[in-house]
């Protein structure tokens, strides 16, 4: 009976390991997308600014939530776009709407990120002058 339990545990671990590998592959695919790269570059600039301006722990929490939120939305947007492209190669108004809606979600969260970034960074920048 102990062998059965060990086999099940090994199988679960193997599945987990494969799932992790699939997720990393998804991130590699996302990293090839121009918009994802743009957001990565913006995240790098914001992170550098955060270190230079000595953000507090709470400020870092908000910044990290915004950075990772935009990345998550961008990955979901890419998945929607690829799924729609898989389903139809022809122009279809609903396919366009699905893609536009997913892109709109990224844009909305990006606007929120800019707003929160402004609330956090602008007072610190103004103090420098």
Tell me the pLDDT of the chain (129 aa) as tens digits.
Answer: 455 666 667 778 888 889 999 999 999 999 999 999 999 999 999 999 999 999 999 999 999 999 999 999 999 999 999 999 999 888 999 999 999 999 999 999 999 999 999 999 999 999 988
Mind telling me the catalytic residues?
74
In the DSSP assignment, the letter for residue 46 is: H
- Tell the residue number behind the tokens 């893609």, with chain if given: 99
* 21 falls within a domain: no
CATH of the domain at 103: 1.10.287.3610
Quote the domain boundaries for residue 85.
33-127
Question: How would you classify residue 56: left for phi > 0, otherwise alpha for psi between -120 and 50, otherwise beta?
Answer: beta
Count CA atoms within 13 Å of residue 2 on its CB side: 0
The total number of structural domains in the chain stands at 1
What pLDDT digit, counting tens, does each position of 4-20 carry? 666 667 778 888 889 99
* 93 falls within a domain: yes
Residues 77-99 as b/e (b if ≥16 CB within 10 A, e otherwise) read bbebbeebeeeeeeeeeebeebb
């Amino acid at each position: 009976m102990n062998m059965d339990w060990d086999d099940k545990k090994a199988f679960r671990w193997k599945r987990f390991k494969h799932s992790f590998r699939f997720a990393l592959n998804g991130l590699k695919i996302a990293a090839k997308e121009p918009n994802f790269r743009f957001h990565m570059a913006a995240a790098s600039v914001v992170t550098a600014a955060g270190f230079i301006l000595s953000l507090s722990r709470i400020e870092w929490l908000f910044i990290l939530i915004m950075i990772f939120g935009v990345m998550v939305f961008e990955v979901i947007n890419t998945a929607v776009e690829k799924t729609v492209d898989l389903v139809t190669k022809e122009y279809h108004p609903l396919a366009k709407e699905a893609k536009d809606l997913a892109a709109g979600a990224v844009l909305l969260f990006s606007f929120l990120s800019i707003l929160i970034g402004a609330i956090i960074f602008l007072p610190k920048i103004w103090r420098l002058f």
